[in-house]
Chain A
């Protein structure tokens, strides 16, 4: 079945350093890919989504490219801030398998030190 595998956390970085959170997926067709972010005490919220292969999504300085050949969707940010401390989830939805289900990765907890 469909699955998402992402960097195991926690990831601890100093403010101003760069971030990469790896995300790989398995699915039979061409899914829509998502990154969600969850701040303490809140539910997850969409960071961005990319419905088409070879396109890039971005928001708040974060970006990820939908790489169909490598089946990857790695999250990157050039310079993290303390306010980026949160849990990041990679997810996919495959319309051909089930148009209503979203498969989430296990989440990557990011701590950014001042």
Chain B
């Protein structure tokens, strides 16, 4: 088995601040994902990476950057945090792509003051 670790678990930032969320997986999976989870809106894809050094924009990429410098890690940066923003950011990985099982981390909860 494997595990996905997300850090930090809770992130509090100020409006306009640049914030970075980190994700590590030891499944040796090629594909990794970042989703944003808002109450009542489900999971929305921000970025995904098919393999090391690859980046693909999802449906919600505006306001975010991502980085995949190693196969095991995938970082997400909120380029300018918005006041009153509150959401959970979920990282996931998959061995083969969308039609295979995705394994999720426990999430990072973001609050912007």
Contact = CB atoms under 8 A, between A and B. Distances in A.
B56 A100 contact: yes
A42 B101 CA distance: 16
Contact of A106 (B4, B35, B40, B99): B40
Contact of A107 (B42, B48, B102, B104): B42
B106 A43 contact: yes
A109 to B, nearest CB: 9
Contacts of B106: 41-43
Contacts of A101: 45, 48, 58, 98
B43 A104 contact: yes
Interface string B48-86: 101000001010000000000000000000000000000
Given A49-B99, A104-B35, 20 more contacts: A32-B99, A36-B102, A42-B104, A43-B104, A49-B101, A93-B98, A93-B99, A94-B98, A95-B99, A99-B98, A99-B99, A100-B48, A101-B48, A101-B58, A102-B102, A104-B43, A104-B44, A106-B41, A106-B42, A107-B43
Interface of A: 32, 36, 41-46, 49, 51, 89, 93-95, 98-102, 104-107
Interface of B: 4, 31, 35, 40-45, 48, 50, 56, 58, 90, 92, 97-99, 101-107
